[in-house]
Amino acid sequence: MNKGAQVITKDELERSICRDSFFCFLKRFWSIVVPEAPVWNWHIEFICNEMQKLAERVFKGLPKEYDLLINVPPGSTKSTICSIMFPAWVWIRMSTIRVICSSYSYPLALELSRRSRDVVQSEKYMKLFGGLELREDQNTKGYYANKDGGYRFSTSTGGSVTGFHGHFLIVDDPLNPEEAVSETELRKANDWIGRTLSTRKVDKALTPTILIMQRLHENDPSNLMMESVGKPGVKIRHINLPAEINEDNEKEVRPRSLKRKYIHGLLDPVRMSREILDEAQSKLLEYGYAGQFLQRPVPLSGGMFKIDKIHIGLPPSHWQRLVRFWDKAGTEGGGAYTVGVLMGLDKENHLWVLDVIRGQWDTGMRETLIKQTAQIDGTRVEVGIEQEPGSGGKESAQNTSRNLRGFIVTIIRPTGDKVLRAKPYSSQVNNENVYLASGEWNRTYINELALFPNGRYKDQVDASSGACTLLTGPRGRIGVW
């Protein structure tokens, strides 16, 4: 050793390594919050490095280059990385950093916050970064601050963030998988992220938003974020890591270069082995597995409806029965669609979808179009109408019936939810007993069936389910009006 050379202690070396690398910090503090031995799959280091790139610009006071969207399957260490370790790590680089973290439920957000605080208050953390102390007057599980002005504030989807502003906004699983199909929960999550949380930035040009979640619905917050691309000033870096890939979905890996890191098509062959994924698929069913593990809310073959079992061909000329069933809506230019599905039962008991009329019309235009369509279809085609619950639904159905004098009209009073009512028709589709006449409407129709019940629209499915019920089930109220 040269005379006078400075000796670096073990603690100084470890402190330097942790400051320079978020991933190294994660590895060295893992045991404080996770009792199980770690499995260091490649994606963990990759996500850590991506988050550090965002953080380095904040530390330097530079404008953000993009927001970060990360779609990964459950059990991939995402919450440990983003909600637990990252808020603790940024403080060793810049103790004045303020972080707002959210999850779909407040108890979950509190638990993640508590574990992050465990890291900050650990003996090891204090030994290496002892100058950082938490304020005694602000040290709760959901909101704690250090003496330099930095804090970590926790909230839940839809929760209050009034008075708080963050250098980082971290959204970790904004939706409960069990409630993701709920239009109410989807709307609440999207509105809260887009209109409330987005305003809680220290500096709009500086503060990045980090959204990390499993895909749960076609219209979930991930989709909201992706659809914002192209708006003024909006740039998104999308990391998309399905649990498994094959020739059908390998192009969906983001960044594309990461597909080379998959082993035998698996993201994490130890923690998400083929056997584990098969078990998950059997529990979640196909469309649940497609969203949470494959990061595509709808599988290629369809979820409840196996769209690859639908035939497209030339319809026959003779029919047992023909029905045009209407699912009505009454808002012009927005909301749900009014849909009229023409379906036939041929001599071999195959169901044929022959035509679909779909649009967003006001009630007057809707009733005019229904009558005009009946006149074009002819009196041989029965007309089916769904009667919505309540006196308003009854009056609407009767008004349509009176408007169709001279035609055979059947009014159906539906029971059960849309999924339950769609099961008979999905059985016909999945047993390869449904045929489509070739038409421009085919693509939109098949797409809605594939997305059901996770799709944004369900009107074509509802109308098809009603037509199927009329053709194959007991006849309801039938009359010539």
pLDDT tens per residue, range 452-466: 887 778 999 999 999
Residue with tokens 């769209």: 307
Query: Looking at the predicted structure, is the pLDDT value of residue 28 above 90?
Result: yes
Query: What is the predicted pLDDT for the residue at 476?
Result: 44
> 199 to each of 196, 370, 469, how far by Cα in Å?
6, 46, 49
Q: What is the phi-psi region of residue 4: left when phi exceeds 0, alpha when psi lies from -120 to 50, beta otherwise? A: left
Name which residue leads in pLDDT, 479 or 435: 435
Query: What is the predicted pLDDT for the residue at 481?
Result: 39
Task: Report the pLDDT averaged over residues 360-381.
Answer: 94
Across the beta sheet with 209-213, the strand order is 134-139, 143-146, 151-156, 98-103, 168-172, 209-213, 67-71, 236-240
Name which residue leads in pLDDT, 460 or 246: 460
Query: What are the structural domain ranges in the chain?
Result: 10-240, 307-480
Q: What are phi and psi of 408, to 5 degrees?
A: -80, 120
Name which residue leads in pLDDT, 390 or 319: 319
CB contact burial 256-283 (16+ within 10 A = b; e otherwise): eebbeebeebbbbbeebeeebbeebbee
pLDDT band at 7 (very low <50, low <70, confident <90, very high): confident
CA–CA separation, 351 vs 134, rounded Å?
69
SS3 172: strand
Task: Report the pLDDT averaged over residues 233-238.
Answer: 93
pLDDT tens per residue, range 167-220: 999 999 999 988 776 778 899 999 999 999 999 999 999 999 999 999 998 889
CB contact burial 353-367 (16+ within 10 A = b; e otherwise): bbbbbbebbebeebb
Least confident of 44-53, 296-305, 418-427: 296-305
Least confident of 43-57, 297-311, 331-345: 297-311
Do the strands 319-327 and 382-386 form a parallel or antiparallel pair, or are they unpaired? parallel
Query: Looking at the predicted structure, is the pLDDT value of residue 230 above 60?
Result: yes
Query: Looking at the predicted structure, is the pLDDT value of residue 150 above 80?
Result: yes
Query: What is the predicted pLDDT for the residue at 451?
Result: 82
Least confident of 17-26, 328-337, 365-374, 406-415: 328-337
> Who contacts 444 (Cβ-Cβ below 8 Å, separation ≥6)?
356, 358, 460
Smallest Cα–Cα separation from 268: which of 78, 36, 30, 43? 43
pLDDT band at 4 (very low <50, low <70, confident <90, very high): low
Query: What is the predicted pLDDT for the residue at 104?
Result: 96
E strand segments, 157-244: 168-172, 209-213, 236-240
Amino acid (1-letter code) at residue 277: L
Largest CA distance in the chain: 109
Name which residue leads in pLDDT, 418 or 456: 418
pLDDT band at 273 (very low <50, low <70, confident <90, very high): very high
Query: Looking at the predicted structure, is the pLDDT value of residue 363 above 70?
Result: yes
Smallest Cα–Cα separation from 244: which of 180, 296, 285? 296
> Who contacts 197 (Cβ-Cβ below 8 Å, separation ≥6)?
100, 102, 161, 169, 171, 209
Residue with tokens 């992220």: 193
Query: What is the predicted pLDDT for the residue at 393?
Result: 75
pLDDT band at 479 (very low <50, low <70, confident <90, very high): very low
Task: Report the pLDDT averaged over residues 396-400.
Answer: 88
Fold type of domain 307-480: Nucleotidyltransferase; domain 5 (3.30.420)
Name which residue leads in pLDDT, 411 or 3: 411
Query: What is the predicted pLDDT for the residue at 398?
Result: 87
CA–CA separation, 394 vs 214, rounded Å?
42
Q: Are the folds of 10-240 and 307-480 the same?
A: no
Fold type of domain 10-240: Rossmann fold (3.40.50)
pLDDT tens per residue, range 61-119: 999 999 999 999 999 999 999 999 999 999 999 999 999 999 999 999 999 999 999 99
Name which residue leads in pLDDT, 118 or 419: 118
Q: Encoding tokens for residue 296? A: 């595509």
Task: Report the pLDDT averaged over residues 325-336.
Answer: 80
E strand segments, 360-476: 382-386, 408-412, 434-437
CA–CA separation, 185 vs 176, rounded Å?
9
Query: What is the predicted pLDDT for the residue at 141?
Result: 92
Query: What is the predicted pLDDT for the residue at 218?
Result: 83
Query: What is the predicted pLDDT for the residue at 465?
Result: 96
**What rounded mean pLDDT belongs to the chain?**
91
CB neighbours (10 Å) of residue 167? 21
Amino acid (1-letter code) at residue 342: L
Task: Report the pLDDT averaged over residues 364-381.
Answer: 95
Angle at Cα 68 formed by Cα 65 and Cα 74, nearest 5°?
A: 165
